[in-house]
C-alpha cells in the first residue's frame, strides 16, 4: 500500500498540533461526548476553534495539570470522552502520578495530548523539551502510546483515539514539518506502515523524524537498500510487521526525538531480544538533556537529520 503523497519530496508544511486541532473541531461536531480540557495552553495546542465552537464542552483548568488528570478521569467515568491538552513536560511529565492512579489504574477512557515534545520545540530549551514522555507512558498498563508522523496522520490518530475505548497518549510537536502521508492513507492504532521497501537495513522511526528517515533512505539509494517503517504506535508495537522486515534485512536502526532509553528504540530492542536477536543501532538523545536553539540546528547537532542518519547507517556494521 502506498501511504505517501505524490510529490513526497516537495511537501507542504504544517505542525502535527495543527492536525490535532482540526480533528478536534470535527470530533466535536460528530460526538457530543467529546470534551476538551486545557492547562492554560489553548492556543499552543490549537484548541481555540474547538473552544469557540463548543464552549460548553471546553474546560480551562489553568496551570493545574494534576487536577486536570483527576477532572478528566471523573468525566470519563461519567461517560464523556475527555482530551487533556498540555505540554508533554507537564502532562505526563508533571502529573504522571495522577495519570497512573486516576486514569491508567481505572482504565478510564481519557485521551492525553502531550504537545511541544522533543528537542524540536527548539528555543524553549531543555526544561521544556520532553524527551522522556514515551518511556513514562508506555510503562503504564492499559495505556496506548501514539506519535504521528505528520499533521495529516495526527488528524487521523485523533479520530482513532476517540473511537478507542481506554486511555491513549498522543505526542505532538510544535514546528512546521513535512506533510508526506496521503489523505487517503489508512491509519490504524497498532498497525505500522512500510513507507519504503528495502533489503539491507530496517529503519524504524516515529513522529516527524519519519520524514528524515525517508530523506536518508532516498539519499542512500544505490548504496544501501533501506526499508523505512513508520512505527506511529509505540504501544502496542506492531511486532508482526517489525519481525517480517528484520528477517529480510538482518539489521535495524531506530530513530526518535526522545531519549534512547525507554522509547521506541527500547521497545524494538525488547522485542528483538526475545524473538529475533538482531544487530541494532538506536538513534535518539543519548542519555542527555537538550538545549535552546533552532529546531533544525538541534536535529543536526544531535545527528537526527538526513545527514546524521546517512552517516550512522553507513558506519553500522
Beta bridge partners of 253: 203, 281
SS3 letters across 25-77: HHHHHHCCCEEEEECCCCCCCCCHHHHHHCHHHEEECCCCHHHHHHHHHHHHH
Cα 163 to Cα 34, 89, 155, 160, 200, distances in angstroms: 11, 26, 13, 5, 37
DSSP conformational letter for 262: S
Q: Exactly one of 22, 65, 227, 256 is catalytic; name it.
A: 65
Map residue 146 onto helix, strand or coil.
Answer: strand
Whether the CB-CB separation of 237 and 230 falls below 8 Å is answered with no
List the grid coordinates of 74.
Answer: 471523573
d(CA 169, CA 101): 15
Our answer to whether residue 65 is catalytic in this structure is: yes
Q: At 109, phi and psi to the nearest 5?
A: -80, 65
Q: What ranges make up the beta strands (E) of the chain?
A: 12-14, 34-38, 58-60, 81-87, 111-115, 144-146, 168-171, 177-179, 193-196, 201-205, 226-230, 233-235, 251-259, 279-285
Cα–Cα dist 56/61, whole Å: 14
The torsion angles phi and psi of 254, rounded to 5 degrees, stand at -110, 150
Q: Is the peptide bond before 186 cis (omega within 30 degrees of 0)?
A: no
- Residues designated as active site: 65
Amino acid at each position: 500500500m502506498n501511504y505517501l503523497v505524490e510529490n513526497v519530496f516537495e511537501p507542504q508544511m504544517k505542525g502535527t498540533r495543527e492536525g490535532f486541532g482540526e480533528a478536534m473541531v470535527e470530533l466535536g461536531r460528530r460526538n457530543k461526548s467529546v470534551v476538551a480540557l486545557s492547562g492554560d495552553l489553548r492556543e499552543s495546542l490549537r484548541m481555540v476553534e474547538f473552544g469557540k465552537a463548543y464552549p460548553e464542552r471546553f474546560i480551562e483548568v489553568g496551570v493545574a495539570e494534576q487536577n486536570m488528570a483527576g477532572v478528566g478521569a471523573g468525566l470519563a467515568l461519567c461517560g464523556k470522552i475527555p482530551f487533556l491538552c498540555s505540554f508533554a513536560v507537564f502532562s505526563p511529565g508533571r502529573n504522571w502520578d495522577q495519570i497512573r492512579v486516576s486514569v491508567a489504574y481505572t482504565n478510564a477512557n481519557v485521551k492525553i495530548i502531550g504537545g511541544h515534545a522533543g528537542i524540536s520545540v527548539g528555543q524553549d530549551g531543555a526544561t521544556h523539551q520532553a524527551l522522556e514522555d514515551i518511556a513514562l507512558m508506555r510503562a503504564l498498563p492499559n495505556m496506548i502510546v501514539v506519535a504521528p508522523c505528520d499533521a495529516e496522520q495526527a488528524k487521523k490518530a485523533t479520530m482513532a483515539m476517540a473511537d478507542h475505548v481506554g486511555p491513549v497518549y498522543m505526542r505532538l510537536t510544535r514546528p512546521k514539518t513535512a506533510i508526506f502521508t496521503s489523505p487517503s492513507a489508512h491509519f490504524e492504532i497498532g498497525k505500522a506502515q512500510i513507507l519504503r521497501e528495502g533489503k539491507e537495513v530496517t529503519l524504524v522511526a516515529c513522529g516527524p523524524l519519519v520524514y528524515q528517515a525517508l530523506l536518508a533512505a532516498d539519499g542512500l539509494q544505490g548504496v544501501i537498500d533501506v526499508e523505512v517503517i513508520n512505527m506511529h504506535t509505540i504501544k502496542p508495537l506492531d511486532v508482526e510487521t517489525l519481525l517480517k522486515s528484520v528477517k529480510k534485512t538482518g539489521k535495524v536502526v531506530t530513530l526518535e526525538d526522545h531519549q534512547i532509553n525507554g522509547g521506541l528504540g527500547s521497545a524494538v530492542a525488547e522485542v528483538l531480544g526475545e524473538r529475533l536477536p538482531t544487530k541494532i543501532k538506536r538513534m535518539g538523545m543519548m542519555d542527555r538533556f537538550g538545549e535552546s536553539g533552532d529546531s533544525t540546528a538541534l536535529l543536526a547537532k544531535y545527528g537526527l537529520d538526513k545527514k546524521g542518519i546517512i552517516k550512522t547507517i553507513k558506519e553500522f556494521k
